[in-house]
């Protein structure tokens, strides 16, 4: 009887060609939910069925309720795109599994240099691993990523292999990593896959704490020079309660942003946008999407 009702519902929805957000559940926990469980899993309920979403410049978007994994809105969620420095979140996860120790001192050398983005640490400086890690994430520093990978004792090739293995383990079936910095445009994924990544990455305090900080200060071991690294995420200066986030940009990827945001109701959502047409729009669109979500959904 239940299966018959569900079959009829599916038939009706296919005729009017309007997807039900409440039926869409991303398996962020990598467990095999069956169809009936997906349909009836609890989560936010849309209170305004006349609002279908927003027009955004981003080529793909997904909004997911943190607690239930319910997709609240999406645009081209399965479209494979370059992801730029969003790549660094997987790099951080794999590093945490191979961390040589936070107090380990690493000398920055010429092999760490990557041509792309603003350079903030320099050859010859001796820096603690914890400071390299935090610099890599808060400032999206590519040379820091290279030094971080080198500190694990793994070759870059082996490190990237582990990134791809981790992606497969998380069920990120449309994701391929080609380098740990995100400079390679062949680092590709979908917003649906990236929602799975940030579910895990942002649950790690080492990642969420630094990516929700406006700045990070540290001292170079061998020179005593002090650096203040500023976050690339301008939403930290907005009215939004950003719990974690990561920016990204390449010409091939456009302006990208992943966010974990807490509403006034203390409920949290994930938002992933890829391919926004400007840095300004990347942030403004996430603000608009956040406001729309909390205005159009109620949590049980």
Number of domains in the chain: 1
Q: What is the pLDDT of residue 115?
A: 80
Does 282 reside within a domain?
Answer: yes
Residues in a beta bridge with 123: none
- pLDDT exceeds cutoff 90 at 210: yes
Show the tokens assigned to 109.
């050398």
- Has residue 78 got a pLDDT over 90? yes
Q: What is the mean pLDDT of residues 208-226?
A: 98
State mean pLDDT over 270-289. 98
* Complete DSSP assignment for 150-163: HHTT--HHHHHHHH
Q: How far apart are CA 94 and CA 155, in angstroms?
A: 13
Q: What is the pLDDT of residue 131?
A: 99
32 falls in which pLDDT band (50, 70, 90)?
Answer: very low
Residue 26 pLDDT exceeds 70: no
d(CA 223, CA 206): 26
pLDDT, tens only, 133-177: 999 999 999 999 999 999 999 999 999 999 999 999 999 999 999
Lookup: tokens for 225: 């020079």
pLDDT of residue 36: 32
CATH of the domain at 290: 3.40.710.10
Q: Look at residue 48 and tell me if it is in a domain.
A: no
Whether 22 has a pLDDT exceeding 80, the answer reads no
Q: Which domain holds residue 147?
A: 81-298
Residue 269: strand pairing partners: 65, 261
The whole-number average pLDDT for the span 244-248 is 99
Of the candidates 178, 201, 176, the residue with the CA atom closest to the CA atom of residue 259: 201
User: Does residue 34 fall inside a structural domain?
Assistant: no
The verdict on residue 129 lying in a domain is yes
Token look-up 């203040």 returns 228
């Amino acid at each position: 009887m239940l299966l018959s009702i569900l079959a009829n519902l599916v038939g009706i929805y296919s005729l009017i060609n309007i997807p039900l957000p409440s039926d869409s559940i991303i398996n962020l926990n990598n467990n095999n939910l069956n169809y009936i469980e997906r349909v009836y899993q609890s989560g936010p309920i849309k209170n305004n069925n006349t609002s279908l979403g927003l027009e955004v410049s981003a080529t793909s978007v997904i909004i997911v309720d943190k607690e239930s994994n319910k997709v609240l809105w999406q645009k081209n969620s399965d479209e494979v795109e370059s992801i730029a420095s969003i790549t660094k979140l997987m790099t951080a996860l794999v590093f945490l599994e191979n961390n040589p120790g936070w107090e380990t001192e690493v000398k920055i050398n010429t092999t760490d240099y990557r041509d792309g983005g603003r350079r903030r640490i320099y050859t010859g400086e001796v820096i603690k691993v914890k400071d390299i890690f935090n610099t890599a994430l808060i400032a999206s520093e590519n040379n820091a990523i290279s030094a971080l990978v080198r500190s694990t004792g793994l070759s870059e090739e082996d490190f990237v292999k582990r990134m791809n293995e981790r992606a497969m383990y998380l069920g990120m079936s449309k994701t391929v990593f080609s380098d740990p910095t995100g400079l390679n445009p062949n680092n590709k994924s979908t917003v649906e896959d990236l929602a799975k990544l940030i579910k895990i990455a942002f649950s790690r305090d080492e990642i969420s704490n630094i990516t929700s900080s406006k700045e990070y200060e540290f001292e170079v071991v061998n020179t005593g020079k002090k650096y203040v690294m500023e976050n690339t995420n301008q939403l930290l200066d907005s009215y939004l309660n950003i719990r974690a986030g990561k920016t990204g940009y390449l010409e091939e990827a456009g302006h990208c942003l992943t966010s974990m945001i807490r509403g006034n109701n203390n409920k949290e959502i994930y938002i992933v946008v890829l391919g926004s047409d400007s840095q300004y729009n990347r942030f403004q669109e996430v603000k608009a999407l956040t406001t729309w979500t909390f205005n159009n959904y109620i949590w049980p």
